[in-house]
Amino acid sequence: MTKQPKLWVEVVQTVGLSLFLSLGVRQFVAEARVVPTGSMEPTVQINDRLVVEKISYLFKSPNRGDIIVFKAPEQALQMSGSTTADAYLKRIIGLPGEAVEVRDGKVLINGKRINETYIKAPPNYAWGPKTVPDGQYLVLGDNRNGSLDGHIWGFLPKDTIIGKAAGRFWPPQRMGGLD
């Protein structure tokens, strides 16, 4: 006759394993995020729910056009008046070593215009040219004229990137990938 474990032991083990798995997945694999601002409109709307995956950048570098979540730079937090360690959502535009310039409503990388079909409106400001330092990126919101982003606070260190926005799961009518 085998001895059955007590019910309370099974409950504690099940709850413990569940907590460990859920926290481990959130910490190292993927997490959900709610979008609080319109800085990425029209691509991402206020209150959209996104899945942020955290694995791919362990094996490869971010690419231009990736939409990422990152720890907000201290200067951005000060400018926004935030008292918490917020995470921001922006699109990678400039890669390490590239000269980036915003002029005449267009973004130029190494002197060549990039095609940006995803922006809300052409930028109404001039910036650069500036060269993106090694290990850093230039990130901008798709709502260029309504985004507190790299054209205001500078370059983003790679080690502040939390992960890549992999898809939208809410609202249901817009569920799917992000372009």
The CATH number given to 32-174 is: 2.10.109.10
**pLDDT tens-digit profile of 98-128?**
999 999 999 999 999 999 999 999 999 999 9
Give me the catalytic one of 54, 90, 120, 164.
90
Annotated active-site residue 61? The verdict is no
Q: Domain spans of the chain?
A: 32-174
CA distance 92 to 141: 9
Q: Label residue 172 by pLDDT band (50, 70, 90).
A: confident
Annotated active-site residue 106? The verdict is no
pTM: 0.82
